[in-house]
């Protein structure tokens, strides 16, 4: 860059570099994180001890408020949630200490600027090639400040130039507009973040409610299966008892018949030893051996195979049980509100 800084020592009593640096550090502490400018009174202090212009706090509250959030917004510095009362941002406490510091700073800064302006009048950017010429134009082609002699006789004679002051004002305006757009974008992003945080809370609540409903329905199905199992097992046990009772009664009857037959055989054997024919005939007449019919269980009576149940279809249905989808094959988006319960479908 073809210019140098011509400097004349400031008069006694002028502000030094240390004073300017101190004022600059103080100014950084007095910058609002929202508008990026010095706090404008009244200044409010948040519960997290950060400060905001009341106007900026109100702007954040108006932008970030959503139907479910109530009187809440988040501190732009630390993201701490600020809960407002019925007075809104006007219920926040004013930071009178910061306001007093701003007044003192502005007074000192005003005095300092007067001194700096006086000092700046004693120094001027001068062209390195033409030491007597001031830097007063801007080369648009090379994008650098220069002097009039460089334009007429020097290396910028074939370049497009413009007055330095007009380029300075235009660039400064564009930068200011860019800062304003960035601040507005930051506010919008902050509002989006707050809304997405609310969406996260809603998702968590919806997921918890749907899981509870699913568990309740599955438990209901299990209870139905347990009740039906108990009923069917009861039917099997009832017929088992009836068959056992019948067969055991037949066993008892056949046992009685067998005992009587054994006694009859013993008596007949004794009769065979009777030597007198007349007595033998009398005994034989009283001991006529008669065969009687006793019932027996039918073939296959012991089978219980008629208590057969086919659970393949039910098992397949349970394995394929899934959430019902809409007509377009997508999940129903209207799950956030109301007490509606999801449907569970079987797919084959």
Mean pLDDT computed over 162-174: 87
State the pTM of this model.
0.43
Segment 264-300, tens digit of pLDDT = 788 778 777 777 777 777 766 666 655 667 888 888 8
What pLDDT, on a 0 to 100 scale, did the predictor assign at position 19?
Answer: 64
Segment 22-55, tens digit of pLDDT = 777 777 888 888 888 888 878 887 888 888 888 8
Q: Where are the domains of the chain?
A: 22-116
Mean pLDDT computed over 124-128: 74
Mean pLDDT computed over 313-318: 91
Say if residue 315's pLDDT is above 70.
yes
What pLDDT, on a 0 to 100 scale, did the predictor assign at position 214?
Answer: 94
Question: pLDDT-based confidence at 345, cuts 50/70/90?
Answer: low
Residue of 206, 193, 155 lying closest to 333 (CA atoms): 206
What pLDDT, on a 0 to 100 scale, did the predictor assign at position 250?
Answer: 92
> Residues near 136 by Cβ (< 8 Å), separated by ≥ 6?
147, 148, 163, 164
> What beta strand segments (E) does the chain contain?
3-6, 43-45, 51-53, 72-74, 81-83, 124-127, 137-139, 144-146, 161-163, 321-323, 344-346
Q: Could you tell me if 324 and 340 are in contact, meaning their C-beta atoms sit under 8 angstroms apart?
A: no
What class, spelled out in words, does domain 22-116 have in CATH?
A: alpha beta
């Amino acid at each position: 860059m073809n210019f140098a800084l011509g400097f004349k020592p400031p008069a006694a009593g002028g502000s030094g570099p240390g004073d300017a640096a101190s004022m600059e550090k103080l100014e950084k502490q007095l910058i609002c994180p929202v508008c990026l400018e010095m706090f404008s009174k009244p200044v409010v202090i948040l519960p997290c001890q950060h400060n905001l212009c009341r106007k900026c706090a109100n702007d954040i509250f108006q932008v970030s408020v959503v139907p479910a959030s109530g009187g809440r917004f988040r501190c732009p510095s630390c993201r701490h949630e600020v809960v407002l009362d019925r007075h809104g941002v006007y219920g926040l406490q004013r930071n009178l200490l910061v306001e007093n510091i701003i007044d003192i700073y502005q007074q000192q800064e005003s005095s300092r600027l007067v001194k700096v302006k006086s000092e700046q009048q004693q120094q001027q950017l001068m062209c390195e090639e033409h030491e007597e010429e001031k830097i007063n134009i801007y080369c648009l082609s090379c994008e650098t400040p220069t002097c009039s002699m460089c334009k007429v006789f020097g290396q910028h004679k074939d370049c497009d130039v413009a007055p330095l002051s007009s380029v300075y004002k235009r660039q400064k305006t564009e930068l200011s507009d860019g800062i304003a757009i960035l601040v507005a974008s930051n506010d919008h992003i902050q509002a989006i973040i707050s809304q997405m945080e609310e969406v996260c809370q809603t998702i968590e609540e919806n997921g918890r409610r749907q899981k509870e409903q699913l568990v309740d329905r599955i438990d209901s199905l299990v209870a139905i299966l347990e009740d039906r199992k108990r009923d069917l097992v009861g039917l099997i046990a009832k017929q088992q008892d009836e068959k056992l009772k019948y067969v055991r009664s037949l066993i008892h009857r056949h046992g009685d018949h067998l005992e009587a037959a054994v006694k009859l055989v013993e008596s007949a054997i004794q009769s065979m030893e009777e030597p007198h024919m007349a007595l033998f005939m009398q005994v034989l007449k009283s001991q006529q051996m008669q065969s009687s019919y006793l019932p027996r269980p039918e073939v296959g009576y012991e089978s219980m195979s008629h208590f057969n149940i086919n659970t393949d279809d039910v098992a397949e249905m349970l394995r394929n049980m899934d959430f019902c989808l809409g007509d377009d094959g997508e999940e129903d988006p209207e799950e956030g509100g109301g007490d509606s319960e999801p449907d569970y479908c079987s797919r084959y």
